[in-house]
Amino acid sequence: MSTPNDTAIRTATERKAHRRRYLMCRPEHFTVRYSINPWMVPANPTDTAKAVAQWQELYDTYVSLGHEVELIDPVPGLPDMVYTANGGFVIDGRALGVKFRMPERSGEERPFMDWFARNGFEVVEPVEVQEGEGDFLLVGDTILAGTGFRSVGDSHRELADVFDREVVSLRLVDPRFYHLDTAITVLDPVVGDGVERANIAYLPSAFDERSQRILAERYPDAIHVSDEDGAVFGLNAASDGTHVFMSPRATGFAAQLEERGYTPVPVDLSELLLGGGGIKCCTLELRGGAR
């Protein structure tokens, strides 16, 4: 468990909630009928109605705290569309589409790009294999980009070209944490006075040694989350700068957040975890674009 220094500690009154705009997809067709990550076991039963109810709680929680939620229609036969974070990456009204590594999810690519186009985003067709905000996280002006299981390293160069931003490559080494958003939470990505406020939390053991060094050097005040909290998808969380929407099972992480002046908001998505996704997986941030 990390110990924050004096510059990292903030009181709750100093935190500022930023209104977010999210894209979500109701899990009307959710089930687990194939296995493309260690969490998915087709032999285990799933409850679609329970998944919808849990998803609805997340949706309602976002709206109740002032966030705007857009919806993309679910498509029969595409049970993983609920994990909208994998549908693209959006900055300043430009949406980079995705190219899934796993053929089971390739049918999602066009529905997401079509949605972006219909809703006023400039759509960029991807060249390299990458899985959107699942592996790309915006921290201030920097994009942290994951590789190792899904997105290929060449996609990081494409990402830098499309958005003209610094891209920092990180390698995942634990198959349970196959996307970057399962091992890092961006707590406050705002840039102030030209300097990034390095507020992230991450699971060190999910990364190779080089990536651990990069994270330690760039974010010395980051929260280091325990393996126990990582294993319940505690880091697959969303933050508005004050409220952190997270798994109720990650109790140690919740305590760490409170120490830093954040407000944990527990939302149980246990049914959707059977498909290998949690809160952040179900949440794609829409930055810019027409309303």
Q: What is the DSSP string of 142-190?
A: EEEEEESSSS-THHHHHHHHHHTSEEEEEEB--TTS-SGGGTEEEEE--
Active-site residue among 179, 224, 243, 282?
179
Q: What distance separates the 2 farthest-apart alpha carbons in the chain?
A: 53
- Alpha-carbon distance values, 249 to 171, 246, 263, 266 (Å): 26, 9, 15, 8
Contacts of 242 (CB under 8 A, 6+ apart): 12, 15, 16, 17, 262, 263
Distance separating alpha carbons of residues 82 and 87, to the nearest angstrom: 10
Q: Is 179 a catalytic residue?
A: yes
**Which token pair is 49?**
């109605």
Active-site residue among 25, 67, 156, 281?
281
Residue 140 backbone zone (phi > 0: left; psi -120 to 50: alpha; other: beta): left
Catalytic positions, written as ranges: 179, 281
